[in-house]
Chain A
Amino acid sequence: MDVNGSHSCLGLIETPRPAALVGGLSIDSTLVQRAREGDASAREELARVSGDAAFRFALQLLGDRELARDVAQDSVLRLFSSLRRVDPERPLQPWLFSIVRNRVIDLRRRALSRGERGAALPSRAAAGDAGELPHDPPDAGPGPFERSERGELQRLMWSCLGRLERAHREILVLRDYQDLSYREIAEVLAVPLGTVMSRLHAARRKLRAEVLATGYRFGGGS
């Protein structure tokens, strides 16, 4: 194999991500600054984009649209209540995601204290053995999972993601679904930068094992 470029995975590494699917929160510093100064249109725009990003991240962690919506709403409120403390020059996304993550953890704690483990978060038990999704797919509309090998893999991954432990799910979502850098992931999870790669790899290995356990074969489908 030519390890300098012809390996198939290297092509995947370089594949640009479609703009519409990017989970990144592209907010310019002037928008944050204007929002801080009380500009109504800037605040509205910031609420919209941060709400979308928070919802998507919460959905990926929780797997439940209703819960994700509540978490996103709370997170945006918290974001705005402490907007004056934000440094407009720093990326907003890690900070917002930290808020979302904390809200998800709170939600989990509350659910556990009420004995509603399965109701709050997708778990292995909730996933069932019939290969059904443990939670709603990302999009109920047509075409979220094309009838293709990649579509099948997307569906399997979405299902298997709910079976992973929280730490693994978090880091996979942050890196592979949200495309955060290692430094940003370390900031969101409040872990040393050196921990990110090892935890991420462990999570990827686990996800791969879960996908293989469903009978899926890479390169050939299930």
Chain B
Amino acid sequence: MTGGPGRDSSASTATPFPEELLSGYLDGALTQQEEQQVRLHLERSPEARAMLDELAALRQAARSTPFVPIEDRQWSEAPRTRASAIAMRLGIVLLALCGLGLVIGVVWQASHAPFGTEMKRGMIWWAAGLWVSGLGGALLVFLSVLGDRLSDRRHDRYRRVLK
């Protein structure tokens, strides 16, 4: 410590030392005369030297602190609407069901061929189910993405910036 601002511990009768000059000295923002004043003060005051060292360490730590810029995708990331999020989830579930049904159907068909009339009717229903779930899922995903894009377009804050 320097004994408080404006106080020179080694020469209490001398002109008070303006302690903020230490920061100016650290930043190279002083006039030659002020620099000389600081140097003289530092020669006399170990407390001032210690403080200068500590302030310099703080400044150096601040200057070397890394700050990673935000990623581009984060700039344009907009929260989904509730409807869009539900449509996307439902669409993915339907597409997954369609894929699963397709695999099961192929395996089942391979193990039960040849089919009777009843079997064939069942297979038609099965295929219809696959079509409905597949198309429905794809449509929901498409609508969800389309909704997001339209929403982004309406709320794009950079639209005027980037033209």
Question: Chain B contacts of A23 at CB under 8 A?
Answer: 67
C-alpha gap A81/B62 in the complex (Å): 33
* Residue A118 lies at the interface, judged by CB distance under 8 Å to chain B: no
Assess the A153–B163 pair: CB atoms within 8 A: no
Q: Are A157 and B49 in contact (CB under 8 A)?
A: no
**On chain A, which size bracket covers the interface?**
35 or more
How many B residues touch the partner, as a band? 35 or more
Majority secondary structure of chain A interface residues (helix, strand, loop or mixed): helix
**CB-based contact A154/B61 at 8 Å:** yes
Q: What is the number of contacts between chain A and chain B, taking CB atoms within 8 Å?
A: 148
- The reply to whether A21 and B63 contact each other, CB–CB distance below 8 Å, is yes
Query: Known contacts A7-B42, A13-B28; is A73 also within 8 Å of B75 by CB?
Result: yes
Interface pair B52/A150, CB less than 8 Å apart: no
Our pick among A8, A21, A176 for the contact of B53 (Cβ within 8 Å) is A8
In terms of DSSP, what is the predominant structure of the interface of chain B? helix
Judge if B66 is at the interface, Cβ distance under 8 Å: yes
Contact check, A43 vs B163: say whether CB atoms are below 8 A apart.
Answer: yes
Contact B55 A1 (CB under 8 A): no
A-binding segment of B16-24, B82-90, B126-134 = B16-24
Chain A residues near B52 (CB-CB < 8 A): 7, 9
Question: Which of A106-114, A124-132, A197-205 lies on the face that meets chain B?
Answer: A197-205
Residues of B within 8 A of A179 (CB): 63
Taking the closest CB of chain A, its distance from the CB of B22, in whole angstroms, is 7
Taking A21-B63, A157-B62, A197-B20 as contacts, is the C-beta distance between A138 and B68 under 8 angstroms? yes
Asked if residues A138 and B67 are in contact (CB atoms below 8 Å), the reply is: yes
- Could you write out 13 A-B pairs with CB less than 8 Å apart? A9-B57, A18-B64, A20-B66, A43-B161, A52-B70, A56-B67, A56-B69, A72-B70, A73-B158, A76-B158, A77-B157, A157-B61, A200-B20
What are the 5 tightest A-B residue pairs by CB atom distance, in nearest-first order? A9-B56, A176-B62, A201-B20, A201-B23, A139-B68
Known: A65-B70, A207-B58. 4 other contacts (CB 8 A): A9-B53, A73-B158, A77-B158, A138-B66
